[in-house]
Amino acid sequence: MINHNISFYKKQKMKILTVFFILCILILGCSIPESNIVEKSTVSPNPTPKSISTPKPINTPRPISTPKSISTPKPISTPRPDTLNPTTLGITVNPTAVAFSKPPEEMTPNEISNLYLDMQNNANLAASIGLKSLALGVSWDEMEPQPLVYNFSSLQDTIERSNQSSRSIELFNFRVIDTTRSTLPADIANQKMDSAEVKQRAKYIVQAIVPIIQEGNVKRFAFGNEINIFLMQNQEQAMNFAWLFYETKQEFNRLLPNIPFGMSVTYEGIKYPDIQEAFGWIIQLGDFVAFTYYPLDEYFKVRSPITATNDIRDMRRIATDYGFSEAILQEIGYPTSSKNNSSQIKQKEFYYQVLKEIKNNQDFFPFACFFMMCDYPEWFVENFKEYYGINDEAFLSFLQTTGTIDGNGNAKESWIWLDLNL
């Protein structure tokens, strides 16, 4: 696990970087001069980006505020109770473990057809009980498998399924950072995130993805998933990521000025004051912050379900301190495995506590998404060992059992409760 305590030296270094970055922003006047924006037509003989439709293995694993000065928090106005819009709820829909019993490349055409049918049935089932929205995340290297050759099939397939089941995509996360790793395409993976080529390539793929975002009526765009974990492990890259984020946001805002652009962090990592201080200056560059929330200790054992009440209030406080008037709950999950000191009853109680507190704060959290609908199959969990670089039994059982439907396709207590109470 990650040590959340930053040494005095590292904190001082981050403060110096913060001051330097803010001064640079002020000098630039919070905008990039036109002469510094390289138009695509002036770039050397790279071919015109084209889209491919190679299907991706199913892997469904994110409020609106005005751009602001990074040093001046925005005041929060509290609406009257009778004017509040209820929080939009969603769940990450994935296939049941029974339908997803082996990798897609090993499936017959009939099994692939059944897999997609299972996914659509699950999406319809979720929508039928009120979980009508979702958050989607895709890594950069997956969307750009070759230089300037784009594969947006995952996003396009999700948009198509969402339209069929009348579900909205409240958040799309372009995972340039994905928890523990950078996802830069292979040919630029060894470059600094703020190198000229990386920044230009980011602008190109944003230009290519914007029409799809518009077609799918995506409400929010995040650039980086759980960025605090990666930057804690790679603090020397914090400034590089900040510049990449800043310049990519400028391009995105030019193309889609009405869609907020932010990033996501883990609540369990960012809740510590020294971490908030170390990375707050980066988070404040966005229009919003999204949280992923799994109440686990350092040994991947669950905390009591009732901690959700104070945790959600604390997320509101953190986002408010950063100057935001809204925050997104990108992922909310709680495993059921005994290896995590948990059970189906605990998961159900956790869902109850979360929904109760979200209702009490619906003026601040416009969207909350549970992760996930179905437990993962065994073969799929094996992939996580390499992806996260963690071969811990409790960690893997946490990843496998956050679903509300078990590995045999049976509803857990939490799903039954959601069905009766939403």
Label residue 187 by pLDDT band (50, 70, 90): very high
Residue type, 391: N
Q: Which of 76-90, 93-107, 265-279 has the weakest average pLDDT?
A: 76-90
pLDDT at 189: 97
Mean pLDDT along residues 229-248 = 96
Residue type, 313: R
Reduce the DSSP state of residue 145 to 3 states and report it.
coil
* Residue 74, both tokens: 């925005």
Q: Which of 193-197, 278-282, 364-368, 400-404 has the weakest average pLDDT?
A: 278-282
Is the predicted pLDDT of residue 413 greater than 50, yes or no? Answer: yes
Label residue 386 by pLDDT band (50, 70, 90): confident
Yes or no: say if 381 and 396 are a contact pair by the CB < 8 Å rule. yes
Q: What are phi and psi of 72, to 5 degrees?
A: -120, 110
Give the residue among 313, 406, 297, 317 at the shortest CA–CA distance from 353.
313
Give 146's DSSP letter: B
Is the predicted pLDDT of residue 253 greater than 90, yes or no? Answer: yes
Q: What is the CATH number of domain 50-65+85-421?
A: 3.20.20.80
Mean pLDDT along residues 140-161 = 93
Question: Which has more confidence, 194 or 3?
Answer: 194
Which segment, 2-6, 92-96, 386-390, is predicted with the most confidence on average? 92-96
Mean pLDDT along residues 180-204 = 97
Reduce the DSSP state of residue 322 to 3 states and report it.
coil
Is the predicted pLDDT of residue 6 greater than 50, yes or no? Answer: no
Q: What is the pLDDT of residues 257-288, one digit of tens each?
A: 999 999 999 999 999 998 888 889 999 999 99
Q: How far apart are CA 281 and CA 229, in angstroms?
A: 16
Q: What is the pLDDT of residues 347-373, one digit of tens each?
A: 999 999 999 999 999 999 999 999 999
pLDDT at 330: 97
Helices (H) and strands (E) in the chain, counts: 14, 11
pLDDT at 235: 93
Is the predicted pLDDT of residue 42 greater than 60, yes or no? Answer: no
H-helix or E-strand containing 164?
A: helix 153-164
* Residue 302, both tokens: 């669950």
Mean pLDDT along residues 130-138 = 93
* Residue 273, both tokens: 């004051």
Residue type, 331: E
Q: What is the pLDDT of residues 291-327, one digit of tens each?
A: 999 999 999 999 999 999 999 999 999 999 999 999 9
- Helices (DSSP H) in 165-306: which residue ranges? 196-215, 227-233, 238-255, 267-270, 273-283
What's the predicted TM-score (pTM) here?
0.80
Is the predicted pLDDT of residue 65 greater than 60, yes or no? Answer: no
H-helix or E-strand containing 20?
A: helix 8-28
Q: Where do the domains of the chain lie? A: 50-65+85-421
Is the predicted pLDDT of residue 75 greater than 80, yes or no? Answer: no
Q: How far apart are CA 241 and CA 14, in angstroms?
A: 13
Q: Which of 171-185, 249-263, 381-395 has the weakest average pLDDT?
A: 381-395
Yes or no: say if 25 and 243 are a contact pair by the CB < 8 Å rule. no
372 cis-preceded (ω within 30 degrees of 0): yes
Report the DSSP beta bridge partners of residue 138: 174
pLDDT at 391: 87
